[in-house]
Structure 1
Amino acid sequence: MGYLRLLRQRPILVLWSSAALSVLGDRLYGLAIMWVVYEATGSAVWMGIAAVVESLPYILIGTFGRGLIARFSSFGALGWLDAGRAVVACAVPLLWSPGQGGITVLLVLVLLLGTLGVLFDPNLGGLVPDLVRPDRVREVTALLDLTNRIAVIAGPGCVGLILMVVSEVQLFAIDGVTFIVSAAAMWWLRAHTHRVARAAAPGAVTAPARRAEPVAAWPVLRRHPDVAVAVGLHGIGFFVAAVSAVGLPTLLAVRLGQGAAGYGLALSAVGAGALAGNLLIGNLRAGRWLTVYCSAWTVTGLALIGYSTAPTLPVVLGVGFAAGLAAPAAAVTLRTKLAGFVPAQRLRLITVDQTVIRTAGTVGMLTLPVAVDAAPATTFAGAGLLLIAAAATAAATGRRVTAAAIMSSREPAGSQTS
């Protein structure tokens, strides 16, 4: 299996191990912030505010801070960012206190963690493809995606076991430990890349790694309209994802009379499907990337409709498994495509994609839960139809605009048509 061959390479093993631990830390963080805010305020509104505060840096810096993000495009700089996140996360239990003052301090720290995160995430995605040969980029992208899929299955159980020993607010400190491990991994990768550079040029003086120069996204997207279309579809996918994220418990209760056990089984089915889908997309040669990408989102849309009409819990589990299969196909396909760009363009496109999905996801979480509360089955069906229509439009538009861009690039300079 390709994953095992990759993990025999020490840099990939170090990267994957730290990423797996970081994903678990993210699970701890996500649970901790929601439970701590809810226990302090008793308000779902404040939980939503905390989620929006954490996303704000991704939206604002991702939109206006391309030069700032590019300043951290090295493993050494990423190590310092994770060291900073470790300090902030570990500070939460020390500074937390019930009441309005504690909530304010918590939101400030959440904002700071989001700021450090938006500087870290796209840069790591931009650096990883350079660790392997071009023909192994899909495999290493899928391998890192595997950490998310494993966390969906194992994360809730791990969190439950940890909460038997510590309180919710102490989960932040455990998250801080995962950042320390990640920082050490980033610094090790920095040293490794320097050793490789020296070995490739014996006797040469190793110059400091040059950071990627920031580039504008729009000229790149104009030359590659298929990527622009795919990023737009990604945003729509994250917008409608709010329906299943907040609406599945309601739908199961209203239509099938299911409680927490049924919801847990549904999430497990999605996780199992995602794990299987990752193993498929990471080890199979796909066809045209945009066709695969749009097809994956079409399956997700069909799954949303399936949820709305499922007559029994076993059918819901089958629909969830299909939805899980599609998720890694979309994620790995797009990230592999972006990895094919030169480093500066790759970093900017990853940042744009991250900004789009954060913005769309935030808008979805602020608007769609109201529709779910009013009519859960109708909202699921409507979200599914919207996603299917968007995927079909993206597939057709992507082929057309890409063909037009190719013809335009082949047209001799100065030629005119009568």
Structure 2
Amino acid sequence: MGYLQLLRKRSVLVLWSSAALSVLGDRLYGLAVMWVVYESTGSATWMGVAAVVESIPYILIGTFGRDLVARFSSYRALGWLDAGRAAAACALPLLWSPDGGGLAVLLAMVFVLGTLGALFGPNLGALVPDLVEPGQVRRVIGLLDLTTRIAAIAGPGAVGLILLAVSEVQLFALDGVTFAVSAVAMWWLHAHARRTARVAAASGTQAAVPVAGEPAPAAWPVLRRHPDVTLAVSLHGVGFFVAAVSAVGLPALLAVQLGQGAAGYGLALAAVGAGALAGNLLIGNLQLGHWLSVYCGAWMVAGLTLFGYGIAPSMPVVLAVGFIAGLATPAAAVTLRTRLSEFGKQERLRLMTVDQTVIRTAGTVGMLTLPMAVDAAPTTAFAGAGVLLLVTAAVTAVVGHRWATMPKFAAAEPVGGRVS
């Protein structure tokens, strides 16, 4: 299998291992934040506030901080970011208290961790393609996406076992340990890149050496030259906007429509996780067609599944719909990330930052607005969200196909050249 071949490459193995641990850490962190906030306030509103506080740095840095993001475009710099995240997460259990002051400390740390995460995410995504040969980029992106799919299945059980031995607040310290391991991995990758560059120089070949602080290009000129990417990022935002319906509304829908409780909700999530795992193995190892067609097709399937949840007459149908929804998720994620990886390093970093900003902004708006629609009418909310996503994806596919045939856009190529 292609993934196993990639893991024989030491740099990929180090990155994938640290990413797998980091994804588990993210599960610990997400659960800890929500439970600690709820236990200290008894308010779901404050849980929403915590989610918004985490998203604010992503939106602000992505919108106004392109030069700041570019300062961290090396593995060494990413190591320091993760060291900072490790220190903040490990300090939180020591500073937290079950009162208003403790809540303020928690929200401040959430903001700090969100800021460091906003700098880390796009930079790592921009560096990953240079670890492998051009023809392996899709596969390595799929391999990293696989960590998320595995965590979706194994994560809840692992968190449940951990909570038998520690409290929710102590989960932050465990999350800090995963950041520390990631920091060591980033520093190792930095040293590995320098060794590789020296060997390449001695043999007379070229090797890319990540250097932080290179000028960050403006996003708009790049997006104007590549309207397919503009359309895809916009569709990504719509997808994250309507995702609030399923994130918040699936438990309510199952309870109202099918009389299901927590067990039914857990089964539905397991079906989505299984579908996502299968979808990752497919999209990560196969070239299925023109990237924008595959991408829009995945989002159209996602829209149909949202609509399907709303009309599902029984639990087996819900599980089937969930499995199909899971199949579409990695197809969209890996396809877009692979397309963005075709650009030169600095344009790639800027576009990944823009994409992150768009989905964080859209997701935040969705979480602030759509739960009210779910409370009023769960079935209608799912149907409306599904139709919106389906129509948007279909229009994107049609417009993207027409633009692709126009000479001035068809001739435009990413600076870094095609990788697939």
- Consecutive unaligned residues of structure 1, counting only runs of 5 or more, are 411-418
Distance 2:211 2:167 in 1: 44
In 2 relative to 1, CA 255–207 (structure 1 residues): closer, same or farther, beyond 3 Å? closer
Distance 2:223 2:134 in 1: 22
Question: Given the alignment of the two structures, is residue 310 of structure 1 paired with residue 299 of structure 2, yes or no?
Answer: no
Q: Residue 308 of structure 1 contacts residue 377 of structure 1 at CA under 8 Å; is this kept in 2?
A: yes
In the TM superposition, what are the counterparts of 1:155-170 in structure 2 within 5 Å? 155-170=155-170
- 1:210 aligns with 211
- 2:127 aligns with 127
Distance 2:222 2:49 in 1: 34
Q: Residue 126 of structure 2 contacts residue 349 of structure 2 at CA under 8 Å; is this kept in 1?
A: yes
Question: Given the alignment of the two structures, is residue 354 of structure 1 paired with residue 318 of structure 2, yes or no?
Answer: no
Deviation at 1:203, TM superposition (A): 9.2
Distance 1:3 1:83 in 2: 29
Letter in 2 for 1:185: A
Letter in 2 for 1:9: K
Distance 1:207 1:337 in 2: 20
- Consecutive unaligned residues of structure 2, counting only runs of 5 or more, are 413-420
Letter in 2 for 1:116: L
SS of residue matched to 2:260:
coil
Deviation at 1:209, TM superposition (A): 4.9
Deviation at 1:8, TM superposition (A): 0.4
Work out the number of aligned pairs and report it: 409
Q: Residue 83 of structure 1 contacts residue 180 of structure 1 at CA under 8 Å; is this kept in 2?
A: yes
Deviation at 1:213, TM superposition (A): 2.0
Distance 1:364 1:345 in 2: 28
Distance 1:405 1:321 in 2: 40
Distance 1:407 1:7 in 2: 37
Distance 1:345 1:288 in 2: 22
Question: Given the alignment of the two structures, is residue 83 of structure 1 paired with residue 83 of structure 2, yes or no?
Answer: yes
Distance 2:104 2:275 in 1: 39
Distance 1:209 1:27 in 2: 29
Distance 1:302 1:16 in 2: 32
Letter in 2 for 1:26: D
Distance 2:410 2:51 in 1: 44
- 1:153 aligns with 153
Which whole-Å deviations, capped at 9, do the CAs of 1:146-203 have from their partners, x for residues lacking one? 0000000000000000000000000000000000000000000000000000001129
SS of residue matched to 2:405:
helix
Provide the TM-score with structure 1 as the length reference: 0.96
In the TM superposition, what are the counterparts of 1:103-142 in structure 2 within 5 Å? 103-142=103-142
In 2 relative to 1, CA 203–149 (structure 1 residues): closer, same or farther, beyond 3 Å? closer
Identity %: 73
Q: Residue 224 of structure 1 contacts residue 402 of structure 1 at CA under 8 Å; is this kept in 2?
A: no
In 2 relative to 1, CA 144–203 (structure 1 residues): closer, same or farther, beyond 3 Å? closer
Deviation at 1:399, TM superposition (A): 1.8
Which whole-Å deviations, capped at 9, do the CAs of 1:244-278 have from their partners, x for residues lacking one? 00100000000000000100000000000000000
Provide the TM-score with structure 2 as the length reference: 0.95
Letter in 2 for 1:295: G
Letter in 2 for 1:51: A
Distance 1:404 1:279 in 2: 34
Distance 1:162 1:79 in 2: 26
In the TM superposition, what are the counterparts of 1:324-403 in structure 2 within 5 Å? 324-403=326-405
- 1:38 aligns with 38
Q: RMSD of aligned C-alpha atoms?
A: 1.5
Distance 2:194 2:315 in 1: 54
In 2 relative to 1, CA 7–311 (structure 1 residues): closer, same or farther, beyond 3 Å? same
Deviation at 1:409, TM superposition (A): 5.7
Distance 1:98 1:386 in 2: 42
In 2 relative to 1, CA 384–408 (structure 1 residues): closer, same or farther, beyond 3 Å? closer
Question: Given the alignment of the two structures, is residue 219 of structure 1 paired with residue 225 of structure 2, yes or no?
Answer: no
In 2 relative to 1, CA 27–133 (structure 1 residues): closer, same or farther, beyond 3 Å? same
In 2 relative to 1, CA 384–201 (structure 1 residues): closer, same or farther, beyond 3 Å? same
Of 253, 256, 259, 1:254 maps to: 256
Letter in 1 for 2:70: A
Letter in 1 for 2:365: V
Which whole-Å deviations, capped at 9, do the CAs of 1:200-256 have from their partners, x for residues lacking one? 11299x998533320001000111000000000000000000000010000000000
- 1:271 aligns with 273
Distance 2:136 2:350 in 1: 22
- 1:7 aligns with 7
Letter in 1 for 2:301: V
